[in-house]
C-alpha cells in the first residue's frame, strides 16, 4: 500500500520539474522568508558595518525591510538598489511573479500575472518589466564550435511568410540570432538585416574558428571573407537539412519566441523587444542549470542593476 501523504504532495523523481509550486510555497511562505533569502544572497559573508568597519551581526528591524548592527545600530537597507526598492508590493508576490515567469517556456503575459497575483494590471506590467531587466545578456563568452545564424521578423500586424523578408513599409522588427549547437543563443533586435548591422554582432559574439551554417541570404556571403568557415542550406531548392548543414536549432528558438510573442505578449513594441529577446534567450541558455530556472532568475538579483535607478 502506498504510504504517500495526500496532503503533502511530493515531486515524482521521474518528473522534469525542478521546483513545484508546493516546494516554492514551502521555501518562501511569507515576506520575511523572501527578505531573508535576499539578505543571504546579497551579503553572502554577512553585512559589513561601515561604522564598526567590519562584518557584524545585524538584526532585522521589526516590520521594516531594514537590518541594524547589533553594536552601533547602523541601519542597512538590503532592498535599496534592487528591483524591489520603493515597491509597495509584498516580496512574496514579487517572488511568486518570478516563480511564474521562470516556470514557463513560452512566457507569461502581464494580464496573466495580474490574475494570478491579484495585483492591478499596471503593477503586474511593471513587475514583469523589472524582473525581465534582471535577465539582460551580459555573458561575453563567445559562441564557438558549430554556430547557426538566421534572421526573423517579429511584432507588427502583417504576417510574413516563413522565409519572406517584409518590405520597407512593414511594422515588423528584424531580429538577428546566433546559436551554438548544444549551447547558447544570442538574439538581437536590429534596425535592418544589412551586412553593416549583422557583421559587428557576429564578430563580437562568435569565435573566428567557428563553423557557421546559414540559409542562402546574400548578407552571409561576407562570413567567408571575415575568416569564418561557412556553409549554407538551400531553402530555395527546398533542401532544409544536408548532413550537418541545417539551421534547425535557431529555427526552433524562433518558433519558441514567436509562440510567446504571438500568443502571450500579442504585440511587443520595438522599444521593449530587446528585453523580451533577452528573457527568451535567458530561459533557453539556462534550460539545463542544475539549480533550476527559478534559482537562475533569483540569483540575478543585485544592487545597482540596470533598472534600479528608474
Ligand atoms: Zn556597527
Pair (153, 191) in one structural domain: yes
Using one digit for the tens of pLDDT, what is the confidence trace for 88-145?
999 999 999 999 999 988 889 899 999 999 999 999 999 999 999 999 988 889 999 9
- State in Å: Cα 159 to ligand 1 middle: 62
Is 111 among the domain residues?
yes
Pair (96, 207) in one structural domain: no
- State in Å: Cα 305 to ligand 1 middle: 26
- According to DSSP, the β-strands at 211-214 and 146-154 are parallel
- State in Å: Cα 49 to ligand 1 middle: 5
Using one digit for the tens of pLDDT, what is the confidence trace for 143-154?
999 999 999 998
Task: Give the residue among 148, 111, 165 at the shortest CA–CA distance from 250.
Answer: 148
How far is residue 33's CA from residue 36's CA, in Å, rounded to a whole number? 5
- State in Å: Cα 148 to ligand 1 middle: 54
Give strand ranges (E) for the chain.
47-49, 54-56, 58-60, 67-69, 75-76, 146-154, 173-180, 185-189, 211-214, 229-232, 241-242, 245-246
Q: What is the CATH number of the domain that holds 250?
A: 3.30.420.10
Q: What percent of the chain has pLDDT over 90?
A: 66
Q: What is the CA radius of gyration of the chain?
A: 23
Class of residue 29 by CB neighbours under 10 A (exposed 0-12, middle 13-18, buried 19+): exposed
Identify the domain containing residue 273 by its residue range.
146-157+167-286
Pair (32, 121) in one structural domain: yes
- State in Å: Cα 68 to ligand 1 middle: 8
Is 174 among the domain residues?
yes
Q: How many domains is the chain partitioned into structurally?
A: 2
- State in Å: Cα 90 to ligand 1 middle: 28
Using one digit for the tens of pLDDT, what is the confidence trace for 247-273?
999 999 999 998 888 766 666 777 788
Pair (195, 124) in one structural domain: no
Residue 296: strand, helix, or coil: helix
- State in Å: Cα 69 to ligand 1 middle: 5
Q: How high is the pLDDT of residue 160?
A: 46
Amino acid at each position: 500500500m502506498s504510504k504517500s501523504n495526500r496532503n503533502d504532495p511530493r515531486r515524482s523523481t521521474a518528473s522534469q520539474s525542478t521546483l513545484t509550486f508546493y516546494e516554492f510555497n514551502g521555501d518562501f511562505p511569507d515576506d520575511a522568508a523572501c527578505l531573508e533569502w535576499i539578505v543571504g544572497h546579497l551579503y553572502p559573508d554577512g553585512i559589513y558595518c561601515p561604522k564598526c568597519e567590519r562584518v557584524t551581526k545585524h538584526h532585522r528591524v521589526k516590520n521594516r525591510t531594514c537590518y541594524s548592527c547589533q553594536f552601533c545600530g547602523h541601519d542597512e537597507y538590503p532592498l535599496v538598489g534592487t528591483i524591489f526598492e520603493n515597491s509597495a508590493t509584498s516580496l512574496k508576490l514579487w517572488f511568486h511573479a518570478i516563480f511564474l515567469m521562470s516556470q514557463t517556456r513560452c512566457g507569461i503575459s502581464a494580464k496573466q500575472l495580474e490574475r494570478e497575483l491579484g495585483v492591478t494590471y499596471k503593477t503586474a506590467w511593471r513587475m514583469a518589466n523589472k524582473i525581465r531587466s534582471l535577465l539582460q545578456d551580459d555573458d561575453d563568452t563567445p559562441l564557438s564550435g558549430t554556430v547557426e545564424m538566421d534572421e526573423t521578423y517579429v511584432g507588427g500586424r502583417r504576417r510574413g511568410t516563413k522565409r519572406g523578408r517584409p518590405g520597407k513599409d512593414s511594422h515588423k522588427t528584424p531580429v538577428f540570432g546566433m546559436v551554438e549547437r548544444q549551447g547558447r543563443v544570442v538574439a538581437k533586435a536590429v534596425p535592418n538585416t544589412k551586412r553593416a548591422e549583422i557583421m559587428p554582432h557576429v564578430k563580437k559574439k562568435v569565435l573566428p574558428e567557428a563553423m557557421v551554417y546559414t540559409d542562402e541570404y546574400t548578407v552571409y556571403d561576407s562570413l567567408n571573407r571575415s575568416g569564418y568557415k561557412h556553409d549554407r542550406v538551400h531553402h530555395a531548392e527546398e533542401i532544409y537539412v544536408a548532413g550537418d548543414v541545417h539551421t534547425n536549432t535557431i529555427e526552433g528558438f524562433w518558433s519558441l519566441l514567436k509562440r510567446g510573442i504571438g500568443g502571450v505578449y500579442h504585440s511587443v513594441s520595438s522599444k521593449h523587444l530587446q528585453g523580451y529577446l533577452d528573457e527568451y534567450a535567458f530561459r533557453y541558455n539556462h534550460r539545463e542549470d542544475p539549480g533550476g530556472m527559478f534559482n537562475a532568475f533569483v540569483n540575478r538579483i543585485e544592487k545597482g542593476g540596470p533598472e534600479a535607478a528608474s
